[in-house]
Amino acid sequence: MTWLLFAEQTLNGLQQGVMLFLMAAGLTLVFGIMSLLNLAHGSLYMVGAYVTATVTQASGSFGLGVLAGMAAAALAGGLIELIALRRLYARDHLDQVLATFGLILFFNELVKILWGPQALFLSTPEILSGTVDLAGTPYPAYRLFIIAVGLLVALGLRVLIVNTRVGMLIRAGSTHREMVGALGVDIARLYTIIFAVGAMLAGLAGALAGPMLAIQVGMGENILILTFVVIIVGGIGSVRGALVGALLVGTVDTFGRAFLPMALRAVMDPSAADTVGASIAGMSIYILMAAVLMIRPRGLFQAYGGT
Amino acid sequence: MTKTLFAAAALAAAIALPAQAAEPVRIGMITTLSGGGASLGIDTRDGFMLAVKMKGGRLGGAETAIDIVDDARKVGNAKQIATRMLQQDDVDVITGIVWSNLALAVVPAVTGADKFYLSTNAAPSHLAGKGCHPNYFAVSYQNDNLDEAAGYHVNAKGYDNVYLIAPNYPAGRDHLNGFKRYYKGGLAGEVYTKLGQVDYAAEIANLRAAKPDAVFIFLPGGMGINFTKQYAQAGLVERIPLFGPAFSFSQDILGAVGDAALGVFNTAQWSPDLDIPANKAFVTAFQAEYGRLPSLYASQGYDTALLLDSAIAKVGGDLSDKAAFRSALKAAEFETVRGKFSFGSNHHPVQDVYMRKVVKVNGTITNEVVEKVFSIHQDAYAADCGM
């Protein structure tokens, strides 16, 4: 293993983490502040990817496609909040799991009816399709772009939550819901906005994933599981925790896959090392989660005030 | 939907020959029509039904009732549907399953009930070797066939430092073993990834650092789309040739991979450009009917229906004589889209396997035959089969 390979894998980990963060930021806000367990978050990611692919193909502009994907996901998120999820805030988490799982099935079938069962295609935008030379190692330009976008979004969210009026209401609403309502703030509307913002970020993640991944029915379920690991590691309800958790999960997962089999080869025979390494690498993020929960049962960062 | 098809087939048969009183031939198709991997089942069904339509809705000239049911890629569903078909509907033949794990759960139940199973795709090693059965026929291939051809080809071309990648589950190991059965050179690496993995950045970085002279992947479905796109984004397609069995580069997937797949080599027993009259007719008819190019799965569904047609005709539409129907199937006297086709002793195909390359023809991304790798190739498990 060379220093360069290590640096490259660190970038890969960072990139994976940033993608997870886009998903986790919305999920953690909804879960932490509204106490709603939303399994359909992955469906919004799928909607973002599908709409981006369709609009990009029709208009020829990836930028336009991404904006359309984000708007569509925000719209879909706002609609399911208004129509279905609003009725579930007061209910048990188990009811919410049941209802939002139903939404997953609904969205999967809807997407299949609208777009058909075959995976969709989205090309990498021309300007980002090449590789960038990093000290002799060619690195995909598109992945660097994702890292940049993700970090910008993280910065933007911080400004939104710490420095704006909506952010103040979000923070207040999470800890003193009744008081905020008593002061004349329309909590229901605030929740719809939070949900739509979370949905929009999921749509952005889906849109950005499009050029790298298969855009297909059920694509959201894979990333959803990782996203839940992220918000549990980071601390439910904390956007800062989502960022740290996402980067941690992305890095641990990437390093596990990249270096564990290699490291094990030093102590056991190659074929056994490959098998054991692959299996442990698949578990690495869950081991991380267990370790974090042992030391900090409520995640690395507690939500504002901690409800 | 299934009811409609059932009715349509029955109706077509009824119109054609209303006076016939004989029991119709009942065929049950269990395949994946919804959820992940649905495009494979849909192509299987469409290929099969195209042949049925071309035969006027009557396979072998007999009244044919076809019941098509979606398994949603779930083992439990497939078993339940098979049980219903066997116990209530009294089907004669079951076919259509795409996935090996589903086939392993259903096939023994079908053969155990003394009915016939014709595989349009999945053909795990167990059913070709020790678990073979006189009533079980694989029309597609034996799972390892395509990997063996890739291994043979890569070996013959003088590559001697190959990097292997497959998902970490039994079929992943089977496929890499198939490759290694005919590849004799060195390995730059052998990597097993998580099943259903979406991001391969870490694996691709390691791969590049290992400096292989060729890469062989078995990553079916979405995994193959993801890997191939990311492999192209890393700028590796032109530098390190990529090989694989056709599963990751079949027509149903190529549209989603786009130009990233251009130049990738893959093996299959069939290709849309195979210069055989029966194949030309099939590709033209499929395009006319469905408005898209057929995939490997469509060709296998089509061949399965034609095989049934030939066997049913041979026994005059009377499937009550199991032994006669069995030997009619075994004879495999139908015009396959693959040119040559016969069954080995374990009822698995003995056939040619080709190396194909992904190319762009008139704006459509598709496969083209590069060369024939194996002539009348048989699988490695036939000797273990006691038939």
What is the distance of C-alpha A156 from the center of its chain? Answer: 16
Alpha-carbon gap, residue B8 to B2, rounded angstroms: 10
The range of the structural domain enclosing residue A43 comes to 9-216
Please choose, from the candidates B140, B63, B85, B117, the residue with its C-alpha nearest in 3D space to the C-alpha of residue B303.
B140
Q: Is the CB of residue B307 less than 8 Å from the CB of residue B49?
A: no
Residues of chain B with pLDDT under 70: 1-22, 36
Q: Is the CB of residue B336 less than 8 Å from the CB of residue B278?
A: yes
Write out pLDDT tens, residues A218-239: 889 889 999 999 999 999 888 8
């990437």: which residue's tokens?
Answer: A254
Q: Is residue A45 part of a domain?
A: yes
Q: Return the pLDDT at A307.
A: 40
Alpha-carbon gap, residue A162 to B372, rounded angstroms: 66
Q: Which amino acid is at A171?
A: R
Q: Is residue A180 part of a domain?
A: yes
Q: Is residue A238 part of a domain?
A: no
CA angle B73, B92, B131 (to 5 degrees): 60
Write out pLDDT tens, residues A279-306: 888 899 999 999 999 999 889 987 654 4
What spatial distance separates the first Cα and last Cα of chain B, rounded to whole Å?
39
Contacts of A216 in chain B (CB under 8 A): 36, 222, 225, 256
Contacts of A258 in chain B (CB under 8 A): 202-203, 205-206
The DSSP bridge pattern shows strands B364-377 and B349-361 to be antiparallel
> Phi, psi (5° rounding) for residue B212?
-80, 165
Interface residue of B233, B259, B295 to substitute, partner A, most A CBs within 10 Å? B233
Q: Is the CB of residue B183 less than 8 Å from the CB of residue B131?
A: no
CB pair distance less than 8 Å for A222 and B198? yes
B275: left (phi over 0), alpha (psi -120 to 50) or beta: beta
* Other Cβ atoms closer than 10 A to B53: 15
Q: Is residue B348 part of a domain?
A: no
Helices A141-163 and A187-209 cross at an angle (nearest 10°) of 170
Q: Is the CB of residue A48 less than 8 Å from the CB of residue A73?
A: yes
Q: Return the pLDDT at A205.
A: 96
Alpha-carbon gap, residue B221 to A262, rounded angstroms: 27
CB pair distance less than 8 Å for B38 and A9? no
DSSP B165-206: EEESSHHHHHHHHHHHHH--SEEEEEEEE-TT----HHHHHH
Please choose, from the candidates A223, A280, A282, the residue with its C-alpha nearest in 3D space to the C-alpha of residue B198.
A223
Residues B8, B115: one domain?
yes
Q: How many domains does chain A fold into?
A: 1
Interface residue of B70, B206, B252, B253 to substitute, partner A, most A CBs within 10 Å? B206
Q: Is the CB of residue B213 less than 8 Å from the CB of residue A301?
A: no
- The DSSP secondary-structure symbol of B139 reads S
For chain B, how many helices (H) and strands (E)? Answer: 13, 13
Alpha-carbon gap, residue B102 to B77, rounded angstroms: 9
Q: Is the CB of residue A152 less than 8 Å from the CB of residue A230?
A: no
Residues A175, A177, A182, A187, CA torsion sign: positive
Q: Is the CB of residue A143 less than 8 Å from the CB of residue A74?
A: no
Strand segments (E) across B115-259: 116-119, 136-138, 161-167, 186-193, 214-217, 242-245
Contacts of B39 in chain A (CB under 8 A): 117-119
Q: Quick one: tokens of B271?
A: 């290709």
Q: Is residue B13 part of a domain?
A: yes
Alpha-carbon gap, residue A269 to B221, rounded angstroms: 31
Q: Return the pLDDT at B4.
A: 53
**Which among B38, B192, B205 is the nearest to A117, CB-wise?**
B38
CATH number at residue B30: 3.40.50.2300
What is the distance of C-alpha B280 from the center of its chain? Answer: 19
Q: Is residue A294 part of a domain?
A: no
B187 inside 8 A of chain A by CB: no
Q: Is residue A162 part of a domain?
A: yes
Residues B293, B185: one domain?
no
Contacts of B291 in chain A (CB under 8 A): none
Q: Is residue A109 part of a domain?
A: yes
How close, in Å, is residue A107 to chain B by CA atoms? 11
**Which among A130, A216, A278 is the nearest to B222, CB-wise?**
A216
Residues B305, B254: one domain?
no
A136 inside 8 A of chain B by CB: no
Percent of chain B with pLDDT over 70: 94
Interface residue of B199, B223, B227 to substitute, partner A, most A CBs within 10 Å? B199
Q: Is residue B99 part of a domain?
A: yes
Q: Is the CB of residue A221 less than 8 Å from the CB of residue A103?
A: no
Residue B232's H or E segment, with its range, is: helix B222-233
**Which among B38, B198, B255 is the nearest to A121, CB-wise?**
B255
Alpha-carbon gap, residue A59 to A211, rounded angstroms: 16
Do the interacting molecules here have an ipTM over 0.90?
no
Please choose, from the candidates B111, B92, B102, the residue with its C-alpha nearest in 3D space to the C-alpha of residue B72.
B102
Residues B207, B329: one domain?
no
Q: Which amino acid is at B23?
A: E
What spatial distance separates the first Cα and last Cα of chain A, rounded to whole Å?
45
Q: Quick one: tokens of A90?
A: 């007061």
B364 inside 8 A of chain A by CB: no
Q: Is residue B35 part of a domain?
A: yes
Q: Quick one: tokens of B384?
A: 């273990």
Q: How many domains does chain B fold into?
A: 2
Alpha-carbon gap, residue A299 to A278, rounded angstroms: 27
Q: Is residue A4 part of a domain?
A: no
Q: Is the CB of residue A174 less than 8 Å from the CB of residue A303?
A: yes
**Which among A139, A215, A279 is the nearest to B168, CB-wise?**
A279
Residues B105, B107, B108, B110, CA torsion sign: positive
Contacts of B201 in chain A (CB under 8 A): 12, 15-16, 143, 254
Write out pLDDT tens, residues A78-131: 999 999 898 888 888 899 999 999 999 999 989 988 998 778 888 888 888 888
Q: Return the pLDDT at A1.
A: 55
Strand partners, B31: B70
Alpha-carbon gap, residue B224 to B235, rounded angstroms: 17
**Which among B201, B234, B256 is the nearest to A118, CB-wise?**
B256
How close, in Å, is residue B222 to chain A by CA atoms? 6
**Which among B33, B198, B256 is the nearest to A119, CB-wise?**
B256
CB pair distance less than 8 Å for B206 and A215? no
CA neighbours closer than 13 Å in the CB half-sphere of residue A206:
39
Q: Is the CB of residue A79 less than 8 Å from the CB of residue B216?
A: no
Kindly tell me the burial class for residue B230, based on how many C-beta atoms sit within 10 Å of its own C-beta (0-12, 13-18, 19 or more): buried
Q: Return the pLDDT at A170.
A: 82
* Other Cβ atoms closer than 10 A to B90: 12
The range of the structural domain enclosing residue B166 comes to 145-268+353-384
Q: Quick one: tokens of B24?
A: 């119709």
Q: Return the pLDDT at B350.
A: 96
Contacts of B257 in chain A (CB under 8 A): 121
Q: Is residue B346 part of a domain?
A: no
Q: Quick one: tokens of B187?
A: 């390995």
**Which among A13, A140, A217 is the nearest to B233, CB-wise?**
A140
- The DSSP secondary-structure symbol of B22 reads S
Nearest CA in chain B to A257: B202
B39 inside 8 A of chain A by CB: yes
Contacts of A117 in chain B (CB under 8 A): 33-34, 38-39, 42
Residues B54, B150: one domain?
no
What is the residue-averaged pLDDT of chain A? 89
Q: Is the CB of residue A248 less than 8 Å from the CB of residue A17?
A: yes
Q: Return the pLDDT at B18.
A: 43
B1 inside 8 A of chain A by CB: no
Nearest CA in chain A to B33: A117
Nearest CA in chain A to B166: A278
CB pair distance less than 8 Å for B203 and A258? yes
> Looking at chain A from residue 66 to 125, which residues have their Cβ under 8 Å from any Cβ of chain B?
108-109, 112, 117-121, 123-124
Q: Is the CB of residue A14 less than 8 Å from the CB of residue A250?
A: yes
Residues B333, B279: one domain?
yes
Residues B137, B191: one domain?
no
**Which among B191, B208, B222 is the nearest to A119, CB-wise?**
B222
Alpha-carbon gap, residue B376 to B323, rounded angstroms: 26
Nearest CA in chain A to B260: A123
Nearest CA in chain A to B206: A258
Write out pLDDT tens, residues A125-181: 888 888 888 877 889 999 999 999 999 999 999 999 889 998 888 888 777 778 888
Q: Is residue B345 part of a domain?
A: no
Number of residues in chain A:
307
Alpha-carbon gap, residue B290 to B36, rounded angstroms: 21
What global pTM score does this model have?
Answer: 0.84
How close, in Å, is residue B330 to chain A by CA atoms? 34
Write out pLDDT tens, residues B118-146: 999 999 999 999 999 999 999 999 999 99
At residue B30, the 3 state secondary structure works out as strand
For A281, B63, B204, the CA distances from B23, given in Å and listed in that order, are: 57, 8, 58
Q: Quick one: tokens of A54?
A: 């369709």
Residues B84, B117: one domain?
yes
> Looking at chain A from residue 251 to 280, which residues have their Cβ under 8 Å from any Cβ of chain B?
254-255, 257-258, 261-262, 271, 274-275, 278-279
Number of residues in chain B:
387
Residue A114's H or E segment, with its range, is: helix A93-115
